[in-house]
């Protein structure tokens, strides 16, 4: 299929893709941090606080893009704490059975955000990276099977527990299946209206109904 607009995919790894909307949304996620030096006149960043300056030792949640800007191994302005889901306790849960976890609720950018954390030189980096990979491998089969069996069914329950990256994959699996099934039933030869036009029609009908 030829799409007139081709979205830039998420970077997945230490680098973000600058033009990827997924990565923009991901880098907006908050990260718990501790300030190693005070920040003068930046009190407005802390919504609860009323002081003009942010004192050293404050704990606050900052979006990833800001943390990446402030983080510097030598100057130690800020140190990063691992969000719960990437810590030892949760890593054990993932290694027991990755399929039981609702990654959407816990994420929803579990893999991309997790890879970004590797930028902050945590001593647990190796374990985090291992868990991300093993979690993906462990959940692969279920995503493949559900995306290949879900034709014409309500897929919202299946998709609900998937992380954003997995959802994109799920869609790829489904469109492969749908394309084949349409072909098999001889519908590939029919020219259909674009989805944009179709949803426009639906809206029209809806308006006349009410």
Partner 1 sequence: MDASEVEFLAEKEMVTVIPNFSLDKVYLIGGDLGPFNPGLPVQVPLWMAINLKQRQKCRIVPPEWMDVEKLEQIRDTERREETFTPMPNPHYMELTKLLLNHASDNIPKADEIRTLVKDTWDTRIAKLRLSADSFVREQEAHAKLDNLTLMEINTISTFFTESLNHMYKLRTSLQTPEDGQTQEY
Partner 2 sequence: MEDDLALSDEASDAGSEEVLTPAELINKLEEAWLNEKFAPELLESKSEIVECVMEQLNHMEQNLQRARQGDLKISFHHMEIERIRFMLSSYLRSRLHKIEKFFPHVLEKEKARGEGEPPHLSPEEFAFAKEYMANTEALLKNVGLRHMPPNLQTLDLIKCVPKPNLDSFVFLRVKEEQQSILVEPETDAQSEYAIDMEVGSQHLIRYRTIAPLVASGAVKLI
Return residues touching partner 2 (CB under 8 A): 2, 6, 8-9, 11, 17-20
Question: Which residues partner with 62 through β-bridges?
Answer: 31
The one of partner 1, partner 2, none whose footprint includes residue 140, by CB under 5 to 8 A per kind, is partner 1
* Interaction of residue 63 with partner 1, rule CB under 8 A: no
State the alpha helices, DSSP H only, in 16-74. Answer: 21-26, 64-70
Residues 6+ apart with CB under 8 A from 30: 61, 62, 63, 64
Residue 31's contacts (CB-CB under 8 Å, 6 or more residues apart) are: 61, 62, 63, 64, 67, 80, 81, 83, 117
By the rule CB under 8 A, 90 interacts with partner 1: no
**Which of 80, 98, 132, 150 is in the footprint of partner 1 by CB under 8 A?**
132
C-alpha–C-alpha distance, residues 56 and 42, integer Å: 12
| CA proximity to 39, closest of 7, 62, 8, 16 | 62
Residue 148 binds: one of partner 2, partner 1, none (C-beta under 5 to 8 A by kind):
partner 1
By a kind-dependent CB cut-off of 5 to 8 A, residue 111 interacts, out of partner 1, partner 2, none, with partner 1
Does 173 interact with partner 1 (rule: CB under 8 A)?
yes
Which residues contact partner 1 (rule: CB under 8 A)?
A: 1, 12-16, 18, 111, 115, 118, 125-126, 129, 132-133, 136-137, 140-141, 144-145, 147-148, 165, 168-169, 172-173, 175-177, 179-180, 182-184, 186, 188-189
């Amino acid at each position: 299929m030829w799409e007139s607009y081709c979205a830039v995919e998420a970077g997945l790894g230490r680098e973000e893709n600058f033009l990827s909307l997924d990565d923009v949304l991901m880098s907006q996620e908050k990260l718990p941090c501790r300030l190693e030096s005070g920040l003068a006149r930046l009190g407005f960043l802390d919504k609860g606080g009323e002081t003009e300056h942010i004192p050293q030792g404050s704990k606050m949640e900052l979006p990833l893009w800001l943390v990446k800007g402030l983080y510097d191994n030598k100057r130690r302005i800020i140190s990063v704490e691992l969000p719960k889901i990437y810590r030892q306790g949760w890593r054990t849960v993932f290694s027991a059975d990755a399929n039981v976890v609702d990654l959407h609720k816990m994420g929803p950018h579990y893999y991309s955000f997790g890879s970004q954390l590797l930028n902050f030189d945590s001593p647990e980096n190796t374990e985090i990276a291992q868990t991300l990979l093993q979690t993906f491998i462990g959940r692969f089969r279920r995503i493949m099977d559900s995306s290949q069996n879900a034709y014409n069914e309500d897929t919202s329950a299946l998709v609900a527990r998937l992380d954003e990256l997995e959802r994109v994959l799920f869609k790829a699996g489904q469109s492969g299946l749908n394309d084949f099934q349409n072909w098999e039933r001889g519908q590939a030869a029919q020219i259909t209206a674009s989805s944009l036009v179709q949803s426009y029609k639906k809206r029209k009908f809806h308006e006349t109904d009410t």
